[in-house]
Amino acid sequence: MSDERRSLYIALISVHGLIRGRNLELGRDADTGGQVLYVVELARALAARENVERVDLFTRLVDDPNVDRDYAEPLEDLGDGARIVRVEAGPPGYLPKEQLWDHLDAFSDNMLAFLREQDDLPQLLHSHYADAGYVGARLTAQLGVPLVHTGHSLGRVKRQRLLASGIKQEAIDERYNMDRRIDAEEETLAAAALVITSTTQEIEEQYGLYDHYQPERMSVIPPGTDLKRFHPPDGAEQRAPIGQELKRFLHQPRKPMILALSRPDERKNIATLVEAYGESEELQELANLVIVAGNRDDIRELDAGAQQVLTDILILIDLYDLYSRVAYPKHHSSDEVPILYQLAAASRGVFINPALTEPFGLTLIEAAASGLPIVATEDGGPIDIVKHCSNGILIDPLDTQDITKALLKILSDRNRWRQYAKNGVEGVKQHYSWEAHAESYMNAVAPLLAQVEPAPRAPVTRRPMLYHDRAIFTDLDQNLLGDPDALADFIRIIRENRKCTSFGIATGRRLDSALATMRRYGIPRPDVLITGLGTEIYYAPQLTRDYAWSRYIDYLWYPRRVRDALADLPGIERQPRTEQSRFKVSFYIDPEVAPSLDEIGSLLHQADLHVQLNLSFGQFLDVVPARASKGLALRYVADQWGIPLEHCLAAGGSGADEDMMRGNTLAVVVANRHHEELSKLIDTEGIYFAEAPYAAGIMEAIDYYRFFEACQVPKASTPKTGN
């Protein structure tokens, strides 16, 4: 095998939850479930491949006294070339995924900074869930490597389910940040070269709800399970402490065990299982019920959803007087999960997953590998698992009689139980091992890897600015024009600090228009001029164009198709030819008549167009390539010049400037009448809202950030003298 193939470096991204390589706290909360186990096992399985040199799993660093110190360690070795890399993003404490959206740009910037410090960049990115998809969509644009995505669960599906339960849409969006999640999912689907799902149903019934639904880019690769951990009972499980813990609940602990293992989540439908058991004297006589629903010290300290689920379970146990027949331990470790399956299998019991919906059902293949027959909801993954393994019965999760009938059918027939147990062990080995998953995975991504092109590097057009350790990037019209006196002061400050500070202008104007405006107002030529909303980059002193950047953003850019797709929409009119460019299609838009920006984006997504939309001042709509924006161009230039983003001050005044200001840049929104487009950034860390408009607002921010303090200007060298 060639060294080139062995040098494959894969970067996995899974932002939320508590992720570590040992003693996973599965079920600790809604964010630390099956996805956490999946990404850790995937990292190990891929790293074990002979043609994979390294796998890094990127997640958020959590430094919080309420969680283990493991989650604050920047690096954790998983063995065989795999490791966890923890990235700072937002406050140090643990946050639920719904509160992470404003910090994902910082995660992206910090992850990219880490990658830039490595000997090699990854050839493949793989994001998990919508938040990581948001990060992955940015990094695939910056690195030029393909993005693979796994959704795990989808926002549009969850919104439908919550609406059906009677929750108002406004409440859903406020509690779950659902609009941002769905927008991120659409953006991720547009950017991803491959989407991996666990079942065919996900492709047809779930991703089919999205505007950028592209089934030809989707592949079904079921998750694997660790057959070294999950195997039939061998007798050692009988000595485990968790077995003794279960016995203290049960009057007849030797009875077969009906095992349910999940988070305390309403969707897992545990209460209906308790009702089915409570209403069947025959089932109670035949078996014990064991409910392992996360970990808890005090139910009152859990989130509202988990509190309600556990309270409902306890009320039902009391209602049906199920004491001594139901075990509900407060604590279990991830290392005890295989033992729980083995104890249930040794008792000739059954594993049940009565969830209302089940995208895959990782616990089902773990149970099957342990020689435990299954009863599962007739939805999603369980359908495929039972089809492949012939090891159980599917049920209607809302029908207690159907649940009872299925459990009795397995528990009362020894031959059926024995055949299901055998089929499950053999079926998992054939269809659901991590080795099989990794093999299918590598086959699916092979065509993508053949197309990898490295991100461009800026041409060397002048002597590097050896002593420039910071930079100011500003919009032209809304920031520098409008107050001549403030502009004069700003120009003076820039000239006084040019020895240590680079100066950049990022504008939506074309080059000729920007230069004419700068001459008219006496604005000196910047070190870098970013024009056309980030579609063109020019460097001083000769205004040398960065053609590497132009070639890079040309990826999947079809301007004629953009014009055709929007040509007949009401309230939209193309701007004059003078306002168009190779990488920018510009329109006037009347918001009172035209479709919403979301509807326009959906239309372009459905036409398989990979673009970014920019709405400025409520009347100008610009469409540019997916890889082009002011923020992406700024990051590209900062990377070429070796200036940390934390040393870049980005000044903006309209919506087109938003991505310059998100993330690790220092940022200021000047107080012009148009800054309401940026009002949603008001609570975002690292963004200063100035009281002054135009250039005065930028100078206000320079003082606020103490931007020029300790400016590293080199001392004049002392001539050498002869002896």
Q: What is the CATH number of the domain that holds 154?
A: 3.40.50.2000
Give the end of a domain, one of 595, 626, 657: 626
205 with 258, same domain: the answer is no
Alpha-carbon distance values, 58 to 36, 42, 149, 446, 606 (Å):
12, 13, 14, 22, 31
326 with 254, same domain: the answer is yes
Residue 104 main-chain phi, psi, to 5 deg: -70, -30
Cα atoms in the Cβ-side hemisphere of radius 13 Å centred on 147? 26
23 with 127, same domain: the answer is yes
pLDDT for 589 equals 94
294 with 412, same domain: the answer is yes
pLDDT digits 0-9 by tens, 234-247: 999 999 999 999 99
pLDDT for 267 equals 85
pLDDT digits 0-9 by tens, 122-157: 999 999 999 999 999 999 999 989 999 999 989 998
Alpha-carbon distance values, 398 to 95, 201, 203, 266, 625 (Å):
33, 20, 25, 13, 48
List of the chain residues with pLDDT < 50: 1-5, 460-464, 714, 716-723
218 with 318, same domain: the answer is no
551 with 661, same domain: the answer is yes
The 3-state secondary structure of 481-527, one letter per residue: CCCHHHHHHHHHHHHHCCCCEEEEEECCCCHHHHHHHHHHHCCCCCC
The arrangement of strands across the sheet holding 257-262 comes to 326-327, 288-293, 257-262, 350-353, 374-377, 392-395
The arrangement of strands across the sheet holding 147-150 comes to 75-79, 82-87, 52-60, 8-13, 124-128, 147-150, 194-197, 218-220
Alpha-carbon distance values, 234 to 230, 345, 374 (Å):
11, 10, 20
pLDDT for 676 equals 62
365 with 395, same domain: the answer is yes
| Rounded CA separation 56/12 (Å) | 6
> Count of domains in the chain?
4
- Which stretch of DSSP H or E encloses residue 289? strand 288-293
**Kind of pairing, strands 52-60 and 82-87?**
parallel
639 with 593, same domain: the answer is no
pLDDT digits 0-9 by tens, 2-13: 444 458 999 999
432 domain-assigned: no
Q: Is the CB of residue 528 less than 8 Å from the CB of residue 538?
A: yes
pLDDT for 243 equals 95
pLDDT for 506 equals 96
| Rounded CA separation 171/4 (Å) | 52
150 with 276, same domain: the answer is no
143 domain-assigned: yes
Strand partners, 573: 588
pLDDT for 4 equals 43
Alpha-carbon distance values, 631 to 649, 661, 677 (Å):
12, 7, 16
pLDDT for 723 equals 37
- Which stretch of DSSP H or E encloses residue 459? none
Range of the domain at 545: 467-555+628-708
721 domain-assigned: no
pLDDT for 404 equals 98
590 domain-assigned: yes
719 domain-assigned: no
